Amino acid sequence: MPESGAIRAVTFDLDFTLWDLEHVIQRAEQRMQRFLAARYPRVSEHFDEEAMRRLRLRMAEEHPELRINVSAMRRASLRRIALTCGYGEDMVEAAFHVFMEGRHEVVPYDDVAPTLTALRRHYRIGALTNGNADVNRLALGEYFDFSVSAVEVGAAKPSRIIFEAACHRAGIAPGEMVHVGDEVHSDVLGAVRFGMGAVWLNRRGEPWPEDLERLPHVELADLSRLPTVLARWR
């Protein structure tokens, strides 16, 4: 565990930590496709859901510089679709807006609100994400004191840059903060290397990666025990 006094702040990854991203994205993409079919019908003639997914993967390979900016990546793929189908930038922005509306219709896991409510009494709470969800657009936003995204600082977890930005935003030292996330490499490795405490939220019961040495961290299957763990943190 990091050397410090009492823990003063907790940061959370968002996707797959506080909600199931797969279902959120699936619903958002279906909403966007319905919108495109109604307003820009030539898209449906060329691209179904799977074709759009393959295009995004190809765009990620062609433009690795956009990988930390998932919004820019999605806009780029929509721009390619618009060009193919003979539409303009209005289609890109309209479709992206519809997608992002759905992107923020999240359903938090059952343990999220009770845990955040308990933690708010004792800690500053931050969001630390590589994605494009904005906690300030969510009902959960009331629990958060600050947020940091990869696109905002130009670096994604596990880079120390994004963890450093979180500490700066909270106004505390790394050893006074604990980060909670579902990804071993992005969340646990990044936090530990920067000198923060780390909680691996392993909701799926996955094994520790064989290619990574064991790191000092706490592993939890859900968030219910997190307040107790933090209160005893040493």
Rounded to whole angstroms, the Cα distance separating 194 from 183 reads 16
Say if residue 120 is in the same domain as residue 41: no
Residue 104 has pLDDT above 70, yes or no: yes
* Residue type, position 148, single letter: V
Say if residue 126 is in the same domain as residue 45: no
pTM greater than the 0.85 cutoff: yes
The whole domain housing 212 covers 9-19+107-231
Q: Is 126 part of any domain?
A: yes
Backbone torsions φ then ψ of 188, nearest 5 degrees: -70, -50
Final residue of a domain: which of 103, 121, 154?
A: 103
3-state class (DSSP) for residue 108: strand
Final residue of a domain: which of 103, 133, 160?
A: 103
Q: Is 4 part of any domain?
A: no
* pLDDT at residue 4 in the model: 47
Final residue of a domain: which of 46, 75, 103?
A: 103
pLDDT digits (tens, 9 = 90+) for 107-150: 999 999 999 999 999 999 999 999 999 999 999 999 999 999 99
CA angle 215, 217, 220 (to 5 degrees): 130
The domain total for the chain is 2
Residue 125 sits in a domain whose CATH number is: 3.40.50.1000
3-state class (DSSP) for residue 168: helix
pLDDT digits (tens, 9 = 90+) for 143-185: 999 999 999 999 999 999 999 999 999 999 999 999 999 999 9
